[in-house]
Chains A and B, each alone.
Chain A
Amino acid sequence: MTEITEVPSPFCGIGTDDLIIQVDGNSLKVKENGCAVNTPAFEQTIQNTSPTIAGKEVSLDEAVGKAADLLRDSNQPVIGGCATDVNGMRALMALADRNGAVVDNMGFGGAKRNFLAMQDSGWMNTTLAEIKNRCDYLLVIGIDLEVFAPRFFERYLWNEASMFLPDTSDRKIVYLGKGPSGKASTSPNNKKAKVLECSNEDLPEVVAALRTLVKGNSLVIEQVGSIAIKDLQFIADQLKKASYGVITWAAGALDFPHAELTVQTVCEIVKDVNESGNRCSGFPLGGKEGDQTANQVCGWQTGYPARMRFSSSFPEYDPFLYDSQKMLDNGEADVLVWVQAFNSSAVPPQVAVPAIVIGRSGMQFDKEPDVFIPVGTPGIDHVGHAYRLDNVVAIRLKKLRESGLPSTSEVLTAIEQVL
């Protein structure tokens, strides 16, 4: 039995790297600094280790050969999930390039809202260490932050010491839209977050009204959604007074039509505050289970984020057309490759076309896929790299045990080689 310290997690997206994990053969126990997201993800036991073809156990070579056969015969393969480490993603891109596949990260439905806003007008953002040391005013829009990342407040807001704030518990936290479900946002000196609740559907209007006020214009109405204008005015004034205000949102949670316009308004509010003479930054939440990793690797290898295709032998990007789910629904794809090395519950969608699943060991299916190859988890079964939600820091993942499970990269490279 060994104990491994300073273990980084690829699961929560916020780059916690202080876990202490006890390793006993193949079983892992989070001894310290676990959370509701990370502990079960690390502690999940290894179940299936053998590849299958239509539910029947086969050798790795046979499974790889069958996958290659299906891809060779395909006119338009799609690769979904795309949840793996940097090397896994590299191998995925090589296979897609060779095979003319669509590459579509499973988080792109949410991430798309950010990319559309960013590619249209840009943004001003910050990263976790800046928040930890500078942020004196945090506006949380449309997300229950402590459910998204249980240790966010503990690690980055209620930290004992900060370089530029005399007392971190004096930070002001304000929720707009969804309120907090627990007490993580309550400061160590017992100050509760201010909550201005409204429904998701009202957020576009509420955020637009807030921008109007931040720009110094007035509104004749007294209420927008369920929120009084005077309360919004108060937020606008505080944002413009803060030394280092931060506005955070999770694109994935803004689940209403054209949410990219709301993201864009939020990003423009940040710019407006900077124009008005104070510092303010945006902080998009996302990047769990390799979402950011997929976009980064796809970005440097093709110039585009991870919803693109190689069907014409060169990269093409379209955040609407290359939605793998839509393509499968419309009969535009004839093979699905599903790659998910982090989360065994993130199973592929039910499809009529042949499915090849490269999944975390333990994945269970209602309908057995044509090919299933269980793989190791980056940061548990092999070393690797994964991006944190703030997109700047790639964490070095450790190998914690000797499970013998192959990596995503090894499996996808093997398939590419026999193609």
Chain B
Amino acid sequence: MLTKLTGGIVYDPANGVNGKQQDIFIEDGRIIKKPSKDAKVDKEYKIKDKVVMAGAIDLHTHIGGGKGNIARMLMPENHRLDAVAHTDITRAGTGHAMPSTFTTGYRYAEMGYTAAFEPAVLPVNARQAHMEMADVPILDKGGYVMLGSDDYLLRMMTAKKDQQAINDYVAWTIRAAQGVGIKVVNAGGISAFKFNQRKLDLDEKNSHYDVSPREILKSLATAVKELGIKHPLHVHGSNLGIPGNIETTLNSIEGVEGLPMHLTHVQFHSYGTEGDFKFSSGAAQIAEAVNKNKNISLDVGQIMFGQTVTASGDNMRQYANHGFARPNKWVCMDIECDAGCGLLPFKYRDQNFVNALQWAIGLEIFLLVDDPWRIFLTTDHPNGAPFTSYPHLIRLLMDKSFRNDMLATLHPEAQKMTTLASIDREYSLEEIAILTRAGAAKITGLVNRGALGDGDWADITVYTENKDREKMFSKPDFVFKNGELVVKKGKIEKVTWGTTHVVRPDYDASVEKNLEKYFSRYMTMKMGNFKISDDELTEDGRGSITVHPTVGGKV
């Protein structure tokens, strides 16, 4: 079956195409070169002057895993406001802040997204993360496996095991949990909270283990690099949300000594202590550091005003912030000598000084970081806002006068504390395509995704050009997933099932000797039962696994 998209204006930064009118041909799910004259086109879509991009990729969104499901069940009142009926082809579900799995997949696809990555997969909860993501239709998915507060690693580091041993453990874990990257959340802090430490600075030691967050970051960033895992160590920093945490973030950048590191939801880690309210923007300093240090990438974690729920592995910080829960109910958990989680419903208000400034800080970061290949568009769904606010966020980035009109409505003191009004930059369509497609595919190590070249998978989104970018990005004309039309005029046309992206770095098999003992002595399941087999992801007949190469490794 040969499909042709005729006459679109293509933005394909992965192949250096910037707004060029060209036809796209699809065969067997992939994009192919222009076929010979006599090849018969089975289906043609005339999309003259419409904007064509690869399917969008969200590299940090909490769509699968235990804490998200607690967040769901914590907030029935939030779902009641956004009930979604089934149709002949789609399943019923609910939104809003933490939507059900089916609704998540449909709504992402209806915005032109074709892949999403769960950033906080606890190894012990990875099975659940994959099972939930298996019920997210259409999208490709994958997970970053969380390490850094797990007792096994902290014991290794206390015992001064060498880097090779740590590499083996990291590789073993990413394979056992079927992950595509490694994440660290408040390095060592989730463990420290279990020992009743209520805060942990970058150079503070865990009271039980002789290990500091800085050492954990260094050790894991080294492991990720040496194992050839393409996605840099994904770091949720220490001291989230604390005024003055800009220092911690800058020190963390310096602390990894040039190793690749991805700082996630940086907005929550970019706060100074200036001004009457002792809360100020650190965006300029962060942007300067990121512009200078090419090993650093980041996603923003933009906040939007309204009701959401914050869902995090960082139970130390979530506990500290529980007084801010709106409505006033919250859950914290210590989990299996592995990690933890915390869930707080939260309402960001535009007339609240701190919230208003958080909004401005996020946008300042977007606009002050120069290299679009190293910054990514996220709200840290659902922490800053539900993912459904992306089209609005895109408009804020692309439309200065709209941005300034919004700014003018916020808490007046917050307006005084931001340079946003003086920033002229407006994102171009090409830059949006980098942030949400080409760059995101590159930094997660995906092969043949996020691009529209010969041989790439035909994940394609077609929009009608519109000066109102929010309207434009809310409702694509067509979305193709692996060459199949899944969305038409912003509505689901066909339900398909995406693949799970993983990486499989090599490790020395002898690593299992100690692990097996550890599991039998201290854990509550056998090591053999901990490892997730390929069958578990594929036996339902819908799921599949795509293994991506490591640097220097074989697939």
The answer, among A17, A87, A115, A130, for a CB contact under 8 Å with B73, is A115
Min distance, Cβ A168 to any Cβ of chain B, angstroms: 11
Question: B-facing mask of A288-306, CB < 8 A → 1, else 0?
Answer: 0000000110011111110
What are 10 pairs between A and B in contact, CB < 8 Å? A15-B525, A127-B524, A155-B524, A161-B522, A243-B196, A299-B73, A304-B76, A304-B94, A385-B131, A394-B128
Give complex CA distance A143, B245 in Å. Answer: 46
Give complex CA distance A64, B75 in Å. Answer: 37
Query: Are A295 and B73 in contact (CB-based, < 8 A)?
Result: yes
Most buried by B among A134, A305, A313, A394: A394
Q: Does B132 contact A (CB under 8 A)?
A: yes
A contact patch SS: mixed
The answer, among B66, B92, B522, for a CB contact under 8 Å with A129, is B522
Question: B-facing mask of A60-104, CB < 8 A → 1, else 0?
Answer: 000000000000000000000000001100100010011000000
Query: Are A392 and B66 in contact (CB-based, < 8 A)?
Result: yes
Min distance, Cβ B36 to any Cβ of chain A, angstroms: 43
Q: Does B39 contact A (CB under 8 A)?
A: no
Query: Are B525 and A17 in contact (CB-based, < 8 A)?
Result: yes
Q: Does A123 contact B (CB under 8 A)?
A: yes
Query: Are A304 and B540 in contact (CB-based, < 8 A)?
Result: no
Segment at the B interface, from A199-207, A247-255, A273-281: A273-281
Q: Does A58 contact B (CB under 8 A)?
A: no
The answer, among B69, B92, B125, for a CB contact under 8 Å with A315, is B92
Q: B residues engaging A (CB < 8 A)?
A: 64, 66, 68-70, 72-76, 79-80, 83-86, 91-94, 98-102, 122, 124-125, 127-128, 131-132, 135, 151, 155, 193-196, 208, 319, 325, 328-338, 343, 521-526, 528-529, 532-533, 535-536, 539-540
Contacts of B128 in A (CB 8 A): 296, 392, 394
Contacts of B528 in A (CB 8 A): 6
Min distance, Cβ A95 to any Cβ of chain B, angstroms: 12
Query: Are B331 and A124 in contact (CB-based, < 8 A)?
Result: yes
B contact patch SS: mixed
Give complex CA distance A155, B70 in Å. Answer: 27
Query: Are B196 and A303 in contact (CB-based, < 8 A)?
Result: no
Query: Are B127 and A385 in contact (CB-based, < 8 A)?
Result: yes
Query: Are B127 and A244 in contact (CB-based, < 8 A)?
Result: no
Query: Are A119 and B73 in contact (CB-based, < 8 A)?
Result: yes
**Given the contacts A302-B93, A303-B72, A129 and B333 also touching, CB distance less than 8 Å:** no
Give complex CA distance A121, B329 in Å. Answer: 4
Query: Are A301 and B102 in contact (CB-based, < 8 A)?
Result: yes
Contacts of A163 in B (CB 8 A): 151, 155, 337, 522
Min distance, Cβ B392 to any Cβ of chain A, angstroms: 23
Q: Does A162 contact B (CB under 8 A)?
A: yes
Query: Are A124 and B332 in contact (CB-based, < 8 A)?
Result: yes
Give complex CA distance A227, B330 in Å. Answer: 32
A-B contacts besides A6-B526, A97-B92, 17 pairs, CB < 8 Å: A8-B529, A94-B91, A98-B86, A115-B73, A118-B73, A130-B335, A160-B521, A274-B319, A279-B193, A300-B100, A303-B99, A304-B76, A304-B79, A315-B100, A317-B80, A392-B333, A395-B529
Give complex CA distance A383, B538 in Å. Answer: 13
Give complex CA distance A86, B334 in Å. Answer: 24
Query: Are B331 and A122 in contact (CB-based, < 8 A)?
Result: yes
Min distance, Cβ B438 to any Cβ of chain A, angstroms: 31
Q: Which 4 pairs show the lowest CB-CB distances between chains A and B?
A: A303-B94, A314-B83, A313-B85, A122-B329
Nearest-CB residue, chain A, relative to B341: A392
Would you list which residues of chain A between 24 and 70 have a CB under 8 Å from chain B? none
Min distance, Cβ A27 to any Cβ of chain B, angstroms: 24
Contacts of A134 in B (CB 8 A): 194
Query: Are A244 and B194 in contact (CB-based, < 8 A)?
Result: yes
Min distance, Cβ B246 to any Cβ of chain A, angstroms: 29
Min distance, Cβ A286 to any Cβ of chain B, angstroms: 14
Contacts of B325 in A (CB 8 A): 122
Query: Are A301 and B84 in contact (CB-based, < 8 A)?
Result: no
